[in-house]
Structure 1
Amino acid sequence: MATIYDIAKKTGFSTTTVSKALNNYSDVSEKTKQKILQAVEEMGYLPNAHAQSLSTKKSWTIGVMFSESNEVGMKHPFFSAIIESFRKNAEREGYDLIFASRNLRNRDISYLEHFSYRAVDGIVVICSDPQDPQVQEMINSTIPIVVIDMNKQNCSLVFSDNIEGGKLAVNYLHSLGHTKIAHIAGDALTDAGAERIKGFKKAMDELKLPIQDGYLINGGLFSIDEGRVAMEKLLMLEDVPTAVFVAGDHMAIGAIEAIKEKGLSVPEDISIIGYDDIEMAAYITPKLTTIKQDTDLIGYQAAKLLMKQIIQKKKLITSKRIPVELIIRESCAPKK
């Protein structure tokens, strides 16, 4: 098996330069790195993880935690897409991911204790539950951390521009002639849910449109079933809305099912616009008009912020607000 000395001999560089290149030090030129990496590939060199840890004082691992009340985790396509983007960018820098097990709660050990025991170099938290004490404990620790999908914490944050997303949805529906616009909201205790409600209210106010009684309804934790139940309540109103902005694509799918079960059509009778742009949105009937969250950019920015903290060996308090985009498909139509 090839050693670091074999790589140094083949490339003509010192073992120190080879080691720095393999550990992505900034004082090694890109040309030198590429030559060394090419030799590594040709010779099948595999660095010893324990030796790397001793020389760099790093474990080359990042802890991953999901914190959401409905405990969907990676089953939700929005979360899984973010983690996939984060993983790709972290792996480019030589890092592996460690996922915290939910069973820790039954073992009388905190997530922070678990990650500290595993000696992770940093932590990424995908969090829609700002009240989670486990998350607060990690935020207040000295371990570098980045939190995704929250926007009011004393650490590095990456989140979508949810207020603008709410406004985009309402303004698009209004451009189609709708004035009786309702909102099936996500749980207002989550930052995402609260911000989308703000966007909805702000757009309605700017357009001088009243929010009729019963038109702002809690859709809970963004599930298909909760979307269906919320839509059923809207359909029971004396003055049924002609358009509904739904705070998540899963809830929007449930809302469409409720409308169809009532014998009505989307978008002929009621226009529906979702939020997230999950892959399924382009394949349901009708194809879902929605507000797209840029999961690739969210994952990239989260990895970039965490790497910066690990390299500088200090926590950063900063935030990245990621733009959203209106995706027009088939579930909205001009008001009759």
Structure 2
Amino acid sequence: MAATLSDIARRVGVTKTTVSYVLNRKRSGIRISEETRQRVLSVARQLNYRPSFSAKALVTGRTNTIGFQCGQIVSPHYNELADMALREVEDRGYHLLISVTPWRTGENDLDCLQTLMGRGVDGVIFFGSALGPGEPLYDHLLAERYPLVTISDQIEGLSSVVSDWEPGMDEAISLLAGKGHRRVGYFRSRSVNPEVDGKLAAFCAACRRHGMEPEVLVGRSVPEHSRQCGLEFARRGDRPTAVIYSCDHGAMGFLRGLRDEGVAVPEEVAVIGIDGTEAGAYCCPSLTTIAQDGRGIIRSAVEMVLAMIDRKEPPGRRVNLATKLIVRESA
């Protein structure tokens, strides 16, 4: 027979409530000594205790699980966000269920979201962009006031935590202009609709503020493909002297392509990525980047989704977090 909370409580000599607080990592006003905590954990291991999530859900109506939908987990950016989300929800006594979209398309985004909801998660942090008026799932979320926070796009009626690209982009163009660059190219992702691409809009606006004409190119975010973009760019006779790439992951491959063609960075072409991933610091040359406040995004998203789960906050709140330029060797 499977061990229960009562079995552990009897063995340790504490209440079942104390055992529950320790095993579920709940914060409470009950003072539990470190010695008691370790005894509870030790006895739980000895008895091979396994929590019954289904039984708990039947009693509480909750699974204590947050869903996290993101794309291309191979990307350092998504990887870092998922790790931050895992730490944030665990600190609050929750579990994280991650659903990965292999390629960011609307259909895949919605499939991932429906899968998470079908697994009974209490709320979702959503990186997709396919939700909107006219989509049946969107209408259902609004009607049910479902706890969902988007962290890629602002979607009407839904809570969101997104990056404000203007500050970081303006810093980037200012840096390039100050170094004499008059032609700056922007490699946008082909998987993102340019009409709703906040990074692209911020780039165009920053260029015009500095008296430059925006030059927009289509790139790829996976290094093995963005390297090809770098090779082709290096072979162009008439090319911009600086490039801003839509993500750090793609910028790394682009740098390799330039290097393979003998183009010196930043002497011949300056390169700036976007995201602020830690991996960019270890490129050669190290990657100058427009950094998002990833930790702030995840912390705010977790706080918002938990507030909605507890019915302390209605859906629809929007939070914008400023980006900033991190100057390294590539620009």
**2:197 corresponding residue in structure 1:** 194
TM-score, normalization: structure 2? 0.77
TM-score, normalization: structure 1? 0.76
Matched, 1:3 2:2: no
Aligned residue for 1:75, secondary structure, equals: coil
**1:179 corresponding residue in structure 2:** 182
Aligned residue for 2:62, secondary structure, equals: coil
| Structure 2: gaps of 5 or more residues | none
* Structure 1, 266-275 or 89-98: larger mean CA deviation: 89-98
Q: What is the 5 A alignment of 1:282-297?
A: 282-297=281-296
Alpha-carbon distance in structure 1 between the residues aligned to 2:35 and 2:311: 27
Aligned residue for 1:268, secondary structure, equals: coil
- Contact (CA 8 Å) 2:163, 2:321: kept in 1 or not? yes
- Contact (CA 8 Å) 2:69, 2:113: kept in 1 or not? no
Q: What is the 5 A alignment of 1:123-138?
A: 123-127=124-128, 136=138
Give 1:78 deviation, angstroms: 0.8
- Contact (CA 8 Å) 1:222, 1:250: kept in 2 or not? yes
Matched, 1:165 2:186: no
**2:221 corresponding residue in structure 1:** 222
- Contact (CA 8 Å) 1:52, 1:58: kept in 2 or not? yes
Question: What is the identity, as a one-letter code, of the residue corresponding to 2:5?
Answer: T
Q: What is the 5 A alignment of 1:22-37?
A: 28-29=28-29, 31=31
Question: What is the identity, as a one-letter code, of the residue corresponding to 1:127?
Answer: G
Alpha-carbon distance in structure 1 between the residues aligned to 2:37 and 2:305: 24
| Structure 1: gaps of 5 or more residues | 67-71
**1:65 corresponding residue in structure 2:** 69
* Structure 1, 145-154 or 77-86: larger mean CA deviation: 145-154
CA deviations on 1:53-107 (whole Å, 9 max, x unpaired) are 23322122223333xxxxx52111111211111111112223223344779x99x
Q: In the comparison of the two structures, how many residue pairs are matched? A: 318
**1:325 corresponding residue in structure 2:** 324
* Structure 1, 170-179 or 36-45: larger mean CA deviation: 36-45
Matched, 1:148 2:147: no
Give 1:37 deviation, angstroms: 5.5
**2:91 corresponding residue in structure 1:** 92
Give 1:272 deviation, angstroms: 0.8
- Contact (CA 8 Å) 1:272, 1:289: kept in 2 or not? yes
Q: Identical aligned pairs, as a percentage?
A: 24
Alpha-carbon distance in structure 2 between the residues aligned to 1:151 and 1:331: 31
Matched, 1:256 2:255: yes
Alpha-carbon distance in structure 2 between the residues aligned to 1:135 and 1:226: 34
Question: What is the identity, as a one-letter code, of the residue corresponding to 1:121?
Answer: D
Alpha-carbon distance in structure 1 between the residues aligned to 2:99 and 2:10: 38
Aligned residue for 1:123, secondary structure, equals: strand
**1:56 corresponding residue in structure 2:** 60
**1:69 corresponding residue in structure 2:** none
Aligned residue for 2:197, secondary structure, equals: helix
- Contact (CA 8 Å) 1:156, 1:318: kept in 2 or not? yes
* Structure 1, 252-261 or 273-282: larger mean CA deviation: 252-261
CA deviations on 1:228-259 (whole Å, 9 max, x unpaired) are 45445544555422211212112222322332
Question: What is the identity, as a one-letter code, of the residue corresponding to 2:58?
Answer: L
* Structure 1, 49-58 or 198-207: larger mean CA deviation: 49-58
Matched, 1:82 2:84: no
- Contact (CA 8 Å) 1:112, 1:137: kept in 2 or not? no
Alpha-carbon distance in structure 2 between the residues aligned to 1:144 and 1:234: 44
* Structure 1, 274-283 or 186-195: larger mean CA deviation: 186-195
Alpha-carbon distance in structure 1 between the residues aligned to 2:228 and 2:137: 31
**2:239 corresponding residue in structure 1:** 240
Question: What is the identity, as a one-letter code, of the residue corresponding to 1:301?
Answer: S
Give 1:216 deviation, angstroms: 1.7
Give 1:275 deviation, angstroms: 1.0
Alpha-carbon distance in structure 2 between the residues aligned to 1:237 and 1:88: 45
Flag the 1:171–1:138 CA change in 2: closer, same or farther, 3 A. farther
* Structure 1, 228-237 or 91-100: larger mean CA deviation: 228-237
Alpha-carbon distance in structure 2 between the residues aligned to 1:97 and 1:192: 33
- Contact (CA 8 Å) 2:162, 2:320: kept in 1 or not? yes
Alpha-carbon distance in structure 1 between the residues aligned to 2:81 and 2:243: 27
Give 1:286 deviation, angstroms: 1.1
CA deviations on 1:102-139 (whole Å, 9 max, x unpaired) are 79x99xx9556544442221122222556896874674
Aligned residue for 2:250, secondary structure, equals: helix
- Contact (CA 8 Å) 1:162, 1:195: kept in 2 or not? yes
